[in-house]
Every structure is written in structure tokens, then in C-alpha cells.
Amino acid sequence: MSGTCETAAAAPLVDYALRLADTALILGHRLSEWIGHAPVLEEELALGNIALDLIGEARALYSYAGEVEGKGHDEDALAYRRDAGQFRNLLLVEQPNGDFAQTIVRQVLYSAFAQPFWRALARSPDATLAAIAAKAEKEAAYHLRHAGEWLIRLGDGTEESHRRAQAALDELWPYAGELFERDAVEDALVAAGIAVDPAALRPEWEKNVADLLAEATLRPPASSWMQSGGRRGRHSEHLGHLLATMQFLQRSYPGASW
């Protein structure tokens, strides 16, 4: 295989699987950046475990995307040999870890979506997507419970933890809109029942997030302006830096194994 990996993603199913895989991988990588830096040992283990779940989901989805695409791309080719413009992840998950509050808010916003999303996708007639989703849904439930409990603790904690949690929420809120976007890639798949209509998950997400914020004594941001573009390959500058680290080995030594 050549050093670069072109994924025109002609088939909507390939593109769909790649979007899900990229989001899981990038968030998993971000969480893995905490290893060696987490505030306490238990949290070190928790963030590492959540990262492992997400990277595992990504691996299964990449393998499936490569199989459907039929051009001989395996999971490593798709994860390590595509550039930022070819990544289809949500902008939310590529945002830097920031302080612990920012990591937790990002995780709450994503997991509150991921759990109902995977639950719905587990009913897909596409057996592979359904099987990946059935497992991911249970994992997302633990991720949400963990991040949700932290959000309550931070928001309803000290003056400083409250201030930081609110700042993180204000910062990341505009990235939540992309969770519910839908475009031509998904339209046919949704019509066939294979993909999930994300807009249908919005009421549940809004209720769960609102309940959590209320318990955490945090104020939902008033702004309704939302960022967009990640799912079409238009990213913030942060993704390039993340990929430079994540892909370094395979870029320097293509096909390296040990």
C-alpha cells in the first residue's frame, strides 16, 4: 500500500462508519493524553479505561469501513494514514483536554448523546453496526455515569470548581449542535433504517443534560450559535496537532509492527 491513503468514501455506509470511527478514535486518543497526568490514581485508571473502550469501538468500525470499501484498507491504514482533511470526527471531541473540568464537560456532552445513539443503532438491520453498537451502548452508559457524577461534584463543589466547570461548559457548548446534524450521507441510510436519525435523539439528550446541569448548579449557556464542519472534514487547528502525535510512528516507519 502507498504511504497515503485516499478514502473518497463513495459509499455512504463507508463514510458513516468512518465518521463514527473517527469520533471514537479521536476522543479515545484525547483521553489517553491524561495518562500520567490525571488528578488521582483512580481517575487515571478511569480515563484510560474509557479511552480503551473508545479505541476498541473505533477499531471495529474501521475494520468494517475497510471491509465495505473493499480497497484493502485495514484499521491501521484508516487510523494512521489519513490526513486531517479526511477525518470525519465531531469537532467536539478534538477540542483539547484543557483542565479536568473541560475534559469532563466534553465527556458529558458526548456520552449523553452516545448512549441513546448506540442504543438506537443496536436495532439497525446492518448486523455488524448493530453488534458494535450493542456493546458500545453499555460502555457509554458507564462513561456517562462517570462523567455525570464528576460534573455534579465539580459544579456543586467549591467556588473554583464551579467557576471552571461553568467556563468549560460555556466554551464547549457551541460544539454540541454538530451531534444532531444530518446530511446527504445519512439520508438514504436513515430512510433504510440502517443509520440513526440524530435529530430524534435530541429530546433525550436535552433532558439528561438539563437534569445534570441543574443538579450541578450550572447554567446552560444562552447562545444558540453552533459550530459545524467536522463531519465534512473541516476541522479546528487542534486536530492536526493531535494527528501529528498519534500518527508519528506509522508516518515515520510505515507498516511498522512489533
Partner 1 sequence: MSGAGLRERALAAAARVSDPEIPVLTIGDLGVLRDVRVAGDIVEIDITPTYSGCPAMRVIEQDLAAALRAAGIEKLRIATVLSPAWTTDWLSAEGRRKLAEYGIAPPAGSAARRALFGSDAVRCPRCGSAQTERLAEFGSTACKALYRCRACAEPFDYFKCH
32 binds partner 1 (CB under 8 A): no
Q: Quote the least distance from Cβ 237 to partner 1, whole Å.
A: 28
User: Per CB under 8 A, which region of 54-62, 69-77, 90-98, 158-166 contacts partner 1?
Assistant: 54-62
Residues 154 and 156: their CA atoms lie apart, in Å, by 6
Grid cell digits, residue 116: 441513546
Question: DSSP for the chain?
Answer: --SS------SHHHHHHHHHHHHHHHHHHHHHTTTTT-SSHHHHHHHHHHHHHHHHHHHHHHHHHHHHHTSS--HHHHHHS--GGG----HHHHS---SHHHHHHHHHHHHHHHHHHHHHHTT-SSHHHHHHHHHHHHHHHHHHHHHHHHHHHHHTS-HHHHHHHHHHHHHHGGGSGGGG---HHHHHHHHTTSS--GGGGHHHHHHHHHHHHHHTT-PPP--------GGGT---HHHHHHHHHHTHHHHHSTT---
User: Per CB under 8 A, which region of 138-146, 156-164, 193-201, 236-244 contacts partner 1?
Assistant: 138-146
Grid cell digits, residue 130: 448493530
* Interface with partner 1 (CB under 8 A), residue from 70, 72, 125, 127: 127
Q: Quote the least distance from Cβ 257 to partner 1, whole Å.
A: 12
**CB nearer to partner 1: pick between 63 and 102:** 63
153 binds partner 1 (CB under 8 A): no
55 binds partner 1 (CB under 8 A): yes
Q: Quote the least distance from Cβ 151 to partner 1, whole Å.
A: 11
CA 73 from centre of chain:
22
Q: Quote the least distance from Cβ 88 to partner 1, whole Å.
A: 19
59 binds partner 1 (CB under 8 A): yes
Q: Quote the least distance from Cβ 6 to partner 1, whole Å.
A: 27
User: Per CB under 8 A, which region of 42-50, 100-108, 156-164, 180-188 contacts partner 1?
Assistant: 42-50
User: Per CB under 8 A, which region of 10-18, 76-84, 124-132, 243-251 contacts partner 1?
Assistant: 124-132
**CB nearer to partner 1: pick between 56 and 240:** 56
Q: Which residues bind partner 1 (CB under 8 A)?
A: 42, 45-46, 48-57, 59-60, 127-128, 130-132, 134-136, 138-139, 141-142, 144-146, 148-149
